[in-house]
Amino acid sequence: MSGSGEAAGIDRSEAEAAARLASVGLRRTPGRVRLLGLLMRRRRPMSPQQVHEALGPEAANRVSVYRALDAFVAKGLVHRACVDQRTGMFESADRCAQDHCHPHFTCRSCGAIRCLADVEVPLIHGLGGGYRVERQQVHLVGLCPECAAEARNDEETAR
Protein backbone atom coordinates (compact mmCIF):
# COMPACT_ATOMS: atom_id res chain seq x y z
CA MET A 1 0.00 0.00 0.00
CA SER A 2 1.10 3.53 -0.49
CA GLY A 3 -0.21 7.05 -0.18
CA SER A 4 -3.81 7.45 0.95
CA GLY A 5 -4.39 3.66 0.70
CA GLU A 6 -1.74 3.11 3.35
CA ALA A 7 -3.29 5.80 5.56
CA ALA A 8 -6.70 4.16 5.18
CA GLY A 9 -5.19 0.79 6.18
CA ILE A 10 -3.61 2.35 9.24
CA ASP A 11 -6.88 4.09 10.16
CA ARG A 12 -8.81 0.78 9.88
CA SER A 13 -6.28 -1.22 11.89
CA GLU A 14 -6.06 1.46 14.56
CA ALA A 15 -9.86 1.69 14.80
CA GLU A 16 -9.98 -2.10 15.21
CA ALA A 17 -7.12 -1.93 17.74
CA ALA A 18 -9.01 0.67 19.78
CA ALA A 19 -12.11 -1.55 19.76
CA ARG A 20 -10.08 -4.57 20.89
CA LEU A 21 -8.47 -2.60 23.71
CA ALA A 22 -11.89 -1.44 24.89
CA SER A 23 -13.30 -4.98 24.67
CA VAL A 24 -10.76 -6.25 27.22
CA GLY A 25 -10.94 -3.21 29.48
CA LEU A 26 -7.59 -1.61 28.61
CA ARG A 27 -7.20 2.14 28.23
CA ARG A 28 -7.13 3.28 24.61
CA THR A 29 -4.14 5.59 24.74
CA PRO A 30 -2.74 6.75 21.40
CA GLY A 31 0.46 4.77 22.01
CA ARG A 32 -1.37 1.53 22.78
CA VAL A 33 -3.67 1.96 19.78
CA ARG A 34 -0.69 2.56 17.46
CA LEU A 35 1.27 -0.37 18.91
CA LEU A 36 -1.58 -2.90 18.62
CA GLY A 37 -2.51 -1.55 15.18
CA LEU A 38 1.10 -2.06 14.06
CA LEU A 39 1.13 -5.70 15.20
CA MET A 40 -2.20 -6.32 13.48
CA ARG A 41 -0.90 -4.89 10.18
CA ARG A 42 2.52 -6.58 10.24
CA ARG A 43 1.14 -10.11 10.52
CA ARG A 44 4.48 -11.45 11.75
CA PRO A 45 6.27 -11.65 15.08
CA MET A 46 8.25 -8.56 16.09
CA SER A 47 10.70 -7.93 18.91
CA PRO A 48 10.02 -5.00 21.27
CA GLN A 49 12.97 -3.21 19.64
CA GLN A 50 11.48 -3.72 16.16
CA VAL A 51 8.12 -2.44 17.44
CA HIS A 52 9.77 0.63 18.95
CA GLU A 53 11.68 1.38 15.74
CA ALA A 54 8.61 0.82 13.52
CA LEU A 55 6.54 3.22 15.61
CA GLY A 56 9.08 5.91 14.80
CA PRO A 57 10.07 9.09 16.61
CA GLU A 58 6.66 9.54 18.25
CA ALA A 59 6.92 6.15 19.96
CA ALA A 60 6.79 5.86 23.71
CA ASN A 61 10.02 4.88 25.41
CA ARG A 62 11.08 1.22 25.31
CA VAL A 63 9.89 0.56 28.86
CA SER A 64 6.38 1.72 27.90
CA VAL A 65 6.47 -0.54 24.83
CA TYR A 66 7.43 -3.54 27.03
CA ARG A 67 4.70 -2.70 29.55
CA ALA A 68 2.07 -2.35 26.82
CA LEU A 69 3.12 -5.67 25.26
CA ASP A 70 2.91 -7.38 28.67
CA ALA A 71 -0.58 -5.90 29.23
CA PHE A 72 -1.66 -7.08 25.77
CA VAL A 73 -0.37 -10.60 26.48
CA ALA A 74 -2.16 -10.71 29.84
CA LYS A 75 -5.44 -9.78 28.11
CA GLY A 76 -4.98 -12.18 25.18
CA LEU A 77 -4.63 -9.50 22.49
CA VAL A 78 -1.03 -10.42 21.72
CA HIS A 79 1.04 -13.48 22.36
CA ARG A 80 4.68 -14.35 22.56
CA ALA A 81 5.63 -16.21 19.43
CA CYS A 82 7.54 -19.44 19.78
CA VAL A 83 10.95 -18.41 18.49
CA ASP A 84 13.66 -18.97 21.06
CA GLN A 85 14.21 -18.57 24.78
CA ARG A 86 16.30 -15.39 24.53
CA THR A 87 14.28 -13.33 22.09
CA GLY A 88 10.83 -12.07 23.01
CA MET A 89 8.80 -11.86 19.82
CA PHE A 90 5.22 -10.65 19.87
CA GLU A 91 2.36 -10.78 17.39
CA SER A 92 -1.34 -10.06 17.28
CA ALA A 93 -3.33 -13.00 18.62
CA ASP A 94 -6.18 -12.53 16.16
CA ARG A 95 -5.17 -15.56 14.06
CA CYS A 96 -4.72 -17.98 16.97
CA ALA A 97 -6.93 -19.89 19.37
CA GLN A 98 -6.58 -19.70 23.13
CA ASP A 99 -4.90 -23.12 23.36
CA HIS A 100 -2.80 -23.14 20.19
CA CYS A 101 -1.18 -20.94 17.59
CA HIS A 102 -0.21 -21.35 13.97
CA PRO A 103 3.36 -22.60 13.39
CA HIS A 104 6.30 -20.24 12.96
CA PHE A 105 9.36 -20.78 10.76
CA THR A 106 12.79 -19.31 11.46
CA CYS A 107 15.47 -19.34 8.76
CA ARG A 108 18.75 -20.45 10.30
CA SER A 109 20.68 -18.54 7.65
CA CYS A 110 19.09 -15.07 7.38
CA GLY A 111 17.09 -15.13 10.63
CA ALA A 112 13.77 -14.32 8.95
CA ILE A 113 10.72 -15.35 10.99
CA ARG A 114 7.52 -16.20 9.16
CA CYS A 115 4.04 -17.12 10.31
CA LEU A 116 2.69 -20.26 8.68
CA ALA A 117 -0.94 -19.40 9.29
CA ASP A 118 -2.15 -21.69 6.50
CA VAL A 119 -0.40 -24.75 7.97
CA GLU A 120 -2.57 -26.77 10.32
CA VAL A 121 -0.90 -28.78 13.05
CA PRO A 122 -3.06 -31.24 14.98
CA LEU A 123 -3.50 -30.54 18.67
CA ILE A 124 -1.78 -32.97 20.97
CA HIS A 125 -4.07 -34.44 23.62
CA GLY A 126 -3.47 -36.99 26.34
CA LEU A 127 0.27 -36.88 26.83
CA GLY A 128 -0.01 -39.04 29.93
CA GLY A 129 2.55 -39.05 32.69
CA GLY A 130 0.81 -36.19 34.48
CA TYR A 131 1.52 -33.59 31.77
CA ARG A 132 -1.18 -31.02 31.10
CA VAL A 133 -0.81 -29.03 27.87
CA GLU A 134 -2.00 -25.45 28.29
CA ARG A 135 -0.87 -24.01 24.98
CA GLN A 136 0.65 -25.61 21.91
CA GLN A 137 3.20 -23.74 19.81
CA VAL A 138 5.18 -25.17 16.91
CA HIS A 139 8.47 -23.66 15.84
CA LEU A 140 10.21 -24.91 12.72
CA VAL A 141 13.82 -24.07 11.87
CA GLY A 142 15.46 -24.48 8.48
CA LEU A 143 16.12 -22.49 5.33
CA CYS A 144 13.64 -20.02 3.84
CA PRO A 145 13.00 -20.34 0.07
CA GLU A 146 15.55 -17.64 -0.77
CA CYS A 147 18.32 -19.10 1.40
CA ALA A 148 17.51 -22.66 0.24
CA ALA A 149 17.87 -21.53 -3.40
CA GLU A 150 21.16 -19.81 -2.56
CA ALA A 151 22.41 -22.97 -0.80
CA ARG A 152 21.46 -25.09 -3.85
CA ASN A 153 23.36 -22.69 -6.12
CA ASP A 154 26.41 -22.84 -3.82
CA GLU A 155 26.26 -26.66 -3.80
CA GLU A 156 26.02 -26.80 -7.59
CA THR A 157 28.93 -24.37 -7.96
CA ALA A 158 31.07 -26.44 -5.57
CA ARG A 159 30.57 -29.60 -7.72
- In whole angstroms, what is the distance from residue 83 CA to residue 40 CA? 19
Domains and CATH numbers, the chain: 1-94 (1.10.10.10), 96-159 (3.30.1490)
What tens digit of pLDDT does each residue of 101-157 get?
Answer: 778 888 889 888 887 878 888 888 778 888 888 777 788 889 999 999 988 887 778
What tens digit of pLDDT does each residue of 57-114 get?
Answer: 877 788 889 999 999 988 989 888 766 556 677 877 776 666 667 788 888 898 888 8
Query: Residue 4: pLDDT band by 50, 70, 90 thresholds?
Result: very low
- In whole angstroms, what is the distance from residue 48 CA to residue 63 CA? 9
Q: Following DSSP, what letter does each residue of the chain receive, concatenated?
A: --HHHHHHHHHHHHHHHHHHHHHTT----HHHHHHHHHHHHH-S-B-HHHHHHHHGGGPPPHHHHHHHHHHHHHTTSEEE-SS-SS---EEEGGGS-SSB---EEEETTT--EEE-TT---PPP----TT-----B--EEEE--HHHHHHHHHHHHHH-
